[in-house]
Structure 1
Amino acid sequence: MASTTSANPVADIFSVKGMVALVTGGGTGIGLMITKALAQAGAAKIYIAGRRLNVLEAAAAQITPLAPETAIIPITCDVTSQASLTSLVSQIESETGFLNLLFANSGIGGPQVPQPGPVANGSSEEVISAKDWAAQHLAVPMDDFTQTFAVNVASVWYTAMACLDLLDKGNKQGNLGWTSQVIVTSSIAGYNKKAPGGYAYGCSKAATTHAIKQLAVVLPTWGIRANGLAPGLFPSEMSAPIVERIGGAIGGSDAVPISKSIIPLGRTGDETDMIGTVLYMVSRAGAYCNGNIVLIDGGRLVYFPTTF
């Protein structure tokens, strides 16, 4: 157990001083918030992985002045490619030799098809026909649907497997007072039966959440934990179209006012909400959690038929 005998034991509980972490999709949106949380809480080294090196480098430049003692290392990686994951892990292995935390955050939204509803028909309205609604789905290439699963589900599993030995070595390194961990960013969409974020996305995030629970059963074999984060609407590239559709506009990392008929708290989440939640999960404060899915949505799910 990490010591809490300093002048500020509460700060120690939420500190990640000395941690070595990998955050996939760590350059924008929620991934950037996660990286900021780790850096400002004292992480020694954070690898941020994604497909756009310029975005990752901009994120590193933004965070470094906030936490100059933390090394932010951008690495180009396609999480759907086993070869790319192998290259990523090889670099971490050669430079550092271990990980304490894998935050598998990469994700995509997937194709959008409107839900069935009334359509204008002269002076009256009628529900779209089953044939026409099905045609809207069939107009989307199947590859677009399955690619959502490739990024949101398969890449989570393969990233975890690729990093498993590094996480095991993190436990053996003993540089922290708590065990190595995999955290996966899922979504409230995995519980929402109405699928406002798209059917492919909702199905994929349900699978993501189940993958987290499966990992939480097997990874403790090697003393490694697995937990998940299920956010609602937060400022990000992915959420911007949804927020705009329900009456808001994304601008930076601040909360966006939203009608309380849509989100009971009357706003989206913001950077501070995410940083506080992440620090609980990654620090000594959350070290007894395994198999947990932390829901953070301002109450949005209460307005939907859900499985939560």
Structure 2
Amino acid sequence: MSTASPGTSPPSAGYRSVFRDGLFAGQVVIVTGGGSGLGRCTAHELASLGATLALVGRNEDKLLAVQHELSADHPHAGGHRIFPCDIRNEQQVRDTIASIVRDLGRIDGLFNCAGGQFPARLEKISLNGWDAVVRNNLHGTFLMSRECYTQWMQDHGGAIVNMLADIWGGMPGMGHSGAARAGVWNFTETAACEWGHAGVRVNAVAPGWIASAGMDSYDEHYQALLRSLKRKVPLQRFGTESELAGAAVFLLSEASAFINGTVIRVDGGVPNARHSFPLPAAGRTIEYNGFPRYQPPTGLQEQTR
């Protein structure tokens, strides 16, 4: 009998990781935004490698669904817990980290995956809209990182991975998110310097156009724009959730023990494309997708008449 949670399809096979078995055995890793999209996929990747997950997010139902998935797909890890929390609220974050330390006994890694934004030109963004995005993407990353450091990592070491975006050269159409992510970039470099002495490494991943379920939240006009974007990628395709998760997990792992203050771009080479060079159509495409529960967003499918 399948143990998949309602609304999800059971996996046809286990998560196909590129890392060695048991890489995170005995370790506790926090994933914010763990109830959907990139956070969900990364949680599965980590659980397949033996980690115990602390899933943090605002939507308890989504966290519960992923918790059930992890227990069904990766029973050898087990002990995964959910911690509903608004990462923009300082006291909630402080209490959540204290609960994780109390309930799970340690914190070895933190993936600050939670975030959110909406498409809008700068002149159309209200102060409330700007503040909501910056508080979520920047303030939440800072609060989670600070509390993990002060409550555990400064005495035991650990790894933090933050979420950026393809902010190079600006982020027209999402200036609030671009400003926040640029702040996360600088915070990452600063924390890497200030906390390195304690054995705490702080790095970041910067996804480009990843075909994640979150893209279906945009309206049809913006989805039409998104569908056209893969022709601006030198690899001529969108990325998968597994490709982003693999980069984040590498930075959380012992393999990156001398990597600190670095950003890994997972964008297919978009910043390297130039208007003076027409990108050829793809002659072949090779992608990595190890997540059997992965469902590409329907909004990115080419429309037919």
Shared fold by TM > 0.5?
A: yes
Q: 1:196–1:146: structure 2 CA closer, same or farther, 3 Å change rule?
A: same
Number of equivalenced pairs? 253
Runs of 4+, deviation exceeding 4 Å? 10-14
Q: 1:22–1:197: structure 2 CA closer, same or farther, 3 Å change rule?
A: farther
Match of 2:265? Answer: 295
2:66 corresponds to 1:59? yes
Superposition map of 1:95-106 within 5 A: 95-106=103-114
TM-score by length of 2: 0.76
Separation in 2 of the partners of 1:40 and 1:269? 21
Q: 1:192–1:64: structure 2 CA closer, same or farther, 3 Å change rule?
A: farther
2:266 maps to a residue whose letter is: I
Contact map agreement 1:187 1:230 (CA 8 A) in 2: yes
Separation in 2 of the partners of 1:11 and 1:140? 42
In structure 1, runs of 5+ residues without a counterpart are 1-9, 114-135, 172-178, 249-257
Match of 2:159? Answer: 181
Superposition map of 1:1-308 within 5 A: 12=20, 15-43=23-51, 45-70=52-77, 71-110=79-118, 112-113=120-121, 137=123, 139-164=124-149, 165-169=151-155, 171=156, 179-188=157-166, 190-193=167-170, 195-240=171-216, 241=218, 244-246=223-225, 248=227, 261-303=231-273
Larger Rg: 1
Q: Which secondary structure does the structure 2 equivalent of 1:212 belong to?
A: helix
Q: Which secondary structure does the structure 1 equivalent of 2:232 belong to?
A: coil
Q: What's the CA shift for 1:86?
A: 1.8
Please tell me the root mean square deviation across aligned C-alpha atoms, in Å. Answer: 2.4
Separation in 2 of the partners of 1:166 and 1:294? 26
Q: 1:204–1:259: structure 2 CA closer, same or farther, 3 Å change rule?
A: closer
Q: 1:237–1:260: structure 2 CA closer, same or farther, 3 Å change rule?
A: closer
- Per-residue deviation, residues 269-307 of structure 1 (Å, max 9, x unmatched): 1133123223321212112110010100011222479xx
Separation in 1 of the partners of 2:260 and 2:164? 15
Q: 1:19–1:187: structure 2 CA closer, same or farther, 3 Å change rule?
A: same
TM-score by length of 1: 0.75
Q: Which secondary structure does the structure 1 equivalent of 2:191 belong to?
A: helix
Match of 2:4? Answer: none
Q: Percent identity?
A: 22
Q: What's the CA shift for 1:198?
A: 0.9
Range that drifts further, 221-230 or 13-22: 13-22
Q: 1:159–1:282: structure 2 CA closer, same or farther, 3 Å change rule?
A: same
Q: What's the CA shift for 1:266?
A: 1.8
Separation in 2 of the partners of 1:83 and 1:76? 13
Contact map agreement 1:29 1:235 (CA 8 A) in 2: no
